[in-house]
Amino acid sequence: MTQSTTRAPGKQSTFTRRWKWNRRAPLRGFYNAWLRAWYALGMRHRVIHPEHMPKAGGVIVMINHINWADPFVVLAALGRPITPMAKVEAFEDWRVRWLVEPYGAIPVHRGAVDLQAIKSATEVLNAGGAVLISPEGTRSKTGALIHAQEGLAFLATRTGAWIVPTGIVGTPEILPALKKLRRAEVTITLGEPFKLESGNEKLSRERLRELTDYAMRRLAAILPAPMRGVYADA
């Protein structure tokens, strides 16, 4: 087995090969139908302010990430196709590979700037599609927001896409509730869409950090206070 040799700080991926994006997404419609059935039967699922999701044009759906189920409770809930960006470990795991690859998820090889993932997401956004991103890059172990990476700001300024902050509450209770033959309450709150403007300036790492923090404060503002974490001053 070969491993990634990235040397950047933070989370790094270990993988057997460079995974490619299946842009055809052959099973997305089928899986979305399955997900909507899960919403109806497996949880008390509701979306607050669905009108904040633009009906057309490039959109980045930015979510908080506290549980494995977070992307799944959003993907089929907002009224238009969404392409998720998923860590490459999901493609390496035989238990979920059958879902993420044919769904058309974009693999992200963490630990360095993944230019191929950025190129793929840019293609979706420039074609007027929607991309789902967890800016934190990994699951929060505390249930509250942790520092986000600058990829969100880079992609948003590169494409001019709308950003829709999407706060998810209740997913950690899904499995415990099912074990008790109950349905967990899962709430998805959409904030007002906004854009990160860069003008014609070449953005420095510091400026990308400022834009990222601004976007994360917009996300924190629609979450309950205990979940705002490092962005609690929103």
37 inside domain: no
- Among the listed residues 2, 22, 28, the one whose alpha carbon sits nearest the alpha carbon of residue 107: 22
What is the pLDDT, as a whole number, of residue 234? 58
Helix (H) or strand (E) holding 141: none
Domain that holds residue 98: 44-193+200-231
126 inside domain: yes
66 inside domain: yes
106 inside domain: yes
In the chain, how many domains are there? Answer: 1
pLDDT, tens digit (0-9, with 9 covering 90-100), for 15-34: 778 899 999 999 999 999 99
Mean residue pLDDT across the chain: 91
Q: CATH number, domain at 208?
A: 3.40.1130.10
Alpha helices, H only, the chain: 28-42, 70-75, 89-92, 94-103, 115-126, 151-159, 174-179, 205-220
Q: In the numeric block, which tokens belong to residue 21?
A: 């994006």
What is the pLDDT, as a whole number, of residue 4? 35
Distance of alpha carbon 22 from alpha carbon 20, whole angstroms:
6
48 inside domain: yes
26 inside domain: no
Contact assessment for residue 84 and residue 7, using Cβ atoms and an 8 Å cutoff: no
Contact assessment for residue 62 and residue 215, using Cβ atoms and an 8 Å cutoff: yes
3-state secondary structure of 120: helix
3-state secondary structure of 92: helix
Distance of alpha carbon 31 from alpha carbon 179, whole angstroms:
23
What is the pLDDT, as a whole number, of residue 13? 73
10 inside domain: no
Residues of the chain with pLDDT under 50: 1-9
pLDDT, tens digit (0-9, with 9 covering 90-100), for 120-168: 999 999 999 999 999 998 899 999 999 999 999 999 999 999 999 999 9
- Among the listed residues 56, 70, 68, 95, the one whose alpha carbon sits nearest the alpha carbon of residue 166: 70
What is the pLDDT, as a whole number, of residue 213? 97
What is the pLDDT, as a whole number, of residue 75? 98
Contact assessment for residue 185 and residue 170, using Cβ atoms and an 8 Å cutoff: yes
87 inside domain: yes
